[in-house]
Amino acid sequence: MMHESTRLGASRDATMDILGTAPELREGPQLNAILALLAERRQMDLSDLSATEQAQIIAARTQELLPSSAQLAELLTDARDAGRQLIVKFGIDPTAADVHVGHAVPMIVASRFQRMGHRVVFIIGDITAKIGDPSGRVADRPPLTDDDIQRNMRSYRDQVSPFFNFDDADFRFNSEWLAPFGLPEFIGVLEKLPLSASLQREDFRNRLSAGSGLTMAELVYSVVMALDSVEISADIEIGGLDQLLSMQMCRRVMENHGQKPEVVVATGLIEGTDGTGAKMSKSKGNYVGLAFDPKDVFGKLMSAADRLLPAYLESLTELLDPEIALVQEMMRDRRIHPMGVKTLLASDVTAAIHGLEVAESSRIGFKAQFSERRYSNTPDVPGVSGSEKADATIAQLFVKVTRLIPSLNQVRRTAKAGGLRLVVEWPGNDKETVTLGVEDADAPIAKLVATHAELLGAANTRSFLKCGRSLIELR
């Protein structure tokens, strides 16, 4: 039980008091008060917590903690008694430029260790990235160049920086020690490890049985990764649950080197927003990108399945277990509507990335667009001139002109499903909506204007093209 005299304890009590009033949460001062408290927590010094309390708030956001939460508490206690910072390892293989909120989950945990007073060391895998982490893959990955790695690393750091203070962390490239690492020395590491330690991996066995490739480099990936832990004498390592077997190898190799094995903190993998059970990923389109426009971050989270709310609140916000439990209880008792809780989630994640004021603007825009269905009240809608873009197709406006949608085919698919529309609004609440088909998506704007000349030419109106959740004002 966290003591109320701590900073976090006082913040928890304030939040519980607000929740106890059964706030509507979709707007108003109570929502803003909770968002302000959560914003403070993202920067809050956690050093006044006891070692047991510190271990508890880490364990509460961890899928697997090895060897145990008690061992972590003991490690934190020993470090406090000795007056030393723990070395918290976070390995990054910069294999992609696009980052989504799922990648921020271990960063949030790393931030908590940092705010407890410990030192986070980023191991940038400029050697291991050339192998490519084989976890969960069904085939080998094309090798990356040095330029790819540097570009991806810059992108990763920029996108994840809202969740972590990179200025107060160490950065090491594992080429520092792996590039000069000799073959006899590496063989000496391998000869102490049974082959079964790698072949017990289910993903490896599945690839082999399916006839897919598995290189020797991938087979020893976790061993190479373990040498990073040995080099920095890591006390703790943070990674996603898909890294668990590799982090267990780190413990084994450290022990073989006469070091105390690191404590492994494995965070859960985020499900995609579509609620199908698939992991969040760019390829499935069920992700919330950290580089998304604020209104798209907010809108994508608002579209998430209701059943994902508890997991998203745990993984993506600074809400504590008692607060999340109370929110769930109030939803079950219908004292809080799930849409209100979703608004809290979407507002807080948007605020973490873009700030409280931008999050509020996104919330107002979402309400105008999807609750009030009044697009004229939606802020920052991109606009195009119908006369200047007369030769462009509707699909091209969304993809090439405003870049709101990634492909022409996605516009066509949305049109086929009835999601492409022309909306004309008059002052007040009057409006007219025309559903457009696939043939309209590929027709030039000039044809749209000619076909609906009377509607588009009406006085004192504003006209919008809507494709799914994306919106363009046609001027």
Model pLDDT, residue 213: 65
Identify the three-state secondary structure at position 230: helix
> What is the pLDDT at residue 379?
73
In a domain, 138, yes or no: yes
Which of residues 239, 267, 295 is at a domain's end?
267
Confidence (pLDDT) at 138: 42
Q: Strand pairing partners for 267?
A: 240
Q: Which residue has the higher pLDDT, 7 or 401?
A: 7
Mean pLDDT on 202-206: 65
Per-residue confidence band for 139, with pLDDT thresholds at 50, 70 and 90: very low
Residue 390 — pLDDT band, cuts 50, 70, 90? confident
Q: With bands split at pLDDT 50, 70 and 90, how would you rate the model's confidence at 141?
A: low
pLDDT score of 468: 82
Asked if 245 and 392 sit in the same domain, the reply is: no
Place of tokens 């939606």: 378
Q: What is the pLDDT of residue 433?
A: 85
395 with 262, same domain: the answer is: no
pLDDT digits (tens, 9 = 90+) for 287-342: 899 989 999 999 999 988 889 999 999 999 999 999 999 999 998 888 888 889 99
Structural domain contains residue 158:
yes
**How do residues 4-50 score in pLDDT, each as one tens digit?**
679 999 999 999 999 988 888 888 899 999 999 999 999 999 999 99
Contact call for residues 158 and 125 (beta carbons, < 8 A): no
Query: What is the span of the domain harbouring residue 387?
Result: 383-474
Q: Is residue 336 part of a domain?
A: no
**Arithmetic mean of pLDDT over the chain:** 87
Asked if 399 and 407 touch (Cβ cutoff 8 Å), the reply is yes
343, 302 contact by CB (below 8 A): yes
- pLDDT band at 223, cuts 50/70/90? very high
Give me the mean pLDDT over the 421-441 stretch. Answer: 85
**Contact between 344 and 23 (Cβ < 8 Å):** no
Q: In this predicted structure, what is the pLDDT of residue 193? A: 86
**CATH number, domain containing residue 87:** 3.40.50.620
Range 381-388 average pLDDT: 86
Does the structure show a pLDDT above 70 at 373? no
**Percent with pLDDT over 90 in the chain:** 48
Token pair, residue 86, equals 């723990």
d(CA 178, CA 180): 6
Q: Comparing C-alpha atoms, which of 335, 317, 359 is closest to residue 32? A: 359
Q: What is the pLDDT of residue 319?
A: 96
On whether residue 316 sits in a domain, the answer given is no
Task: Tell me whether residue 301 is in a domain.
Answer: no
Asked if residue 406 is part of any domain, the answer here is: yes
d(CA 292, CA 104): 14
Q: Which range (57-71, 207-221, 384-398) has the least confidence?
A: 207-221
Say what the pLDDT of residue 46 is: 96
Residue 272: inside a domain: no
**Boundary (domain end) residue, out of 267, 295, 327:** 267
Identify whether residues 125 and 263 lie together within a single domain. yes
Listed residue (139, 144, 161, 177) closest to 291, CA to CA: 161
Q: Could you tell me the pTM of the whole model?
A: 0.76
> What's the pLDDT score for residue 426?
83
pLDDT exceeds 80 at position 132: no
Phi-psi region of 403 (alpha: psi -120 to 50; beta: other; left: phi over 0): left
Q: Residue 137 pLDDT more than 50?
A: no
Q: Which of 267, 283, 300 is the last residue of a domain?
A: 267
Q: What is the pLDDT of residue 220?
A: 85
Q: Per mean pLDDT, which range of 64-73, 228-237, 414-423 is the poorest?
A: 414-423
In the structure, what pLDDT confidence band is assigned to residue 150 with cuts at 50, 70 and 90?
Answer: confident
- Counting the structural domains of the chain, the total is 2
- What is the average pLDDT across 265-288? 88
Task: Tell me whether residue 360 is in a domain.
Answer: no
Q: What mean pLDDT do residues 54-75 have?
A: 95
d(CA 236, CA 251): 10
**Whether pLDDT at 198 is above 80:** no
Average pLDDT over residues 340-358: 95
Question: Across residues 235-241, what is the average pLDDT?
Answer: 95
∠ CA 228-270-88, rounded to 5°: 25
Q: Which residues contact 154 (CB under 8 A, 6 or more apart)?
A: none
Q: What is the DSSP string of 20-61?
A: TT----SSSHHHHHHHHHHHHHTT---TTS-HHHHHHHHHTT
Q: Does the pLDDT at position 203 exceed 80?
A: no
Per residue in 298-322, is it b (16+ CB within 10 Å) or e — as a string? bbbbbbbeeebbeebbbbbbbbbee
Decide if 414 contacts 467 (C-beta within 8 A). yes
Verify that 258 and 387 share a domain, yes or no.
no
